Copies of this chain bind each other. A is one copy, B any other.
């Protein structure tokens, strides 16, 4: 049981432009490239495909009744996103960094005649992993301070997309500060203050607004776990 007034998807008032790839044969996979700013799918859309991010990154969001936005997740290379529920998408998905994406017909996840057992198994596994991952994320948001959240965020991003440069780790942040705030359930100002503090402590060195150099990975991990 979850405490939620199940937000019935309202395909009517969709502020998002649709960008659905052309129909495919049931077993086909579509590789395609999407540029920054494109909406891959919207809350309420018929879930024709499930997507695998190969390169680039995407942002999954939901909008509440009161208009506030919540970033549910970021999709990075290797992630499989867009699992349908009742054959519909329940989040918006925007490309935030030009991405190569594979689209799998969603029926590959369904039962029936299993035409591609390997892919089916992969998609099913990804769906189940998604449940666990959301629980993990949930735990972390529930019990961490602002500082710990931001440190965790940078650490995870560093592990997943960082580029080693000497002792340091270079990473690009395709998302805005507001995106990060909406993801970590913080105010933008709080995120900004946390970044500043990390910089003053010498753990990170922001290159530009969109790129960061992690100077002390260990200290970052410590910060993400402890209270100091």
At the interface, yes or no: A156 with Cβ under 8 Å from chain B? yes
Chain A contacts with B in 70-100, Cβ cutoff 8 A: 70, 72-76, 79, 83-86, 90-91
At the interface, yes or no: A132 with Cβ under 8 Å from chain B? yes
Report yes or no: A129 in contact with B85, Cβ–Cβ below 8 A.
yes
Complex Cα distance, B91 from A156, in Å, reads: 22
Complex Cα distance, B140 from A72, in Å, reads: 12
Number of interface residues of A (CB under 8 A): 64
Which among B130, B142, B153, B160 is the interface contact of A131 at CB below 8 angstroms?
B130
Report yes or no: A133 in contact with B184, Cβ–Cβ below 8 A.
no
Q: Which residues of B contact A110 (CB under 8 A)?
A: 121, 124
- Closest-by-CB residue of B relative to A140 is B4
Report yes or no: A135 in contact with B134, Cβ–Cβ below 8 A.
yes
Complex Cα distance, B138 from A133, in Å, reads: 12
Interface string of A114-128 (1 = CB under 8 A from B): 100100110011011
- Closest-by-CB residue of B relative to A70 is B139
Q: Which residues of B contact A48 (CB under 8 A)?
A: none
- Min Cβ gap A132→B in Å is 4
At the interface, yes or no: A17 with Cβ under 8 Å from chain B? no
Q: Which residues of B contact A12 (CB under 8 A)?
A: none
User: With contacts A83-B131, A131-B131, A132-B85 known, is A143 near B3, CB below 8 A?
Assistant: no
Chain A contacts with B in 138-184, Cβ cutoff 8 A: 138-143, 149, 152-153, 155-157, 160, 183-184
Complex Cα distance, B103 from A61, in Å, reads: 35
User: With contacts A128-B84, A141-B142 known, is A4 near B133, CB below 8 A?
Assistant: yes
- Closest-by-CB residue of B relative to A161 is B1
At the interface, yes or no: A208 with Cβ under 8 Å from chain B? no
- Min Cβ gap A53→B in Å is 10
At the interface, yes or no: A68 with Cβ under 8 Å from chain B? yes
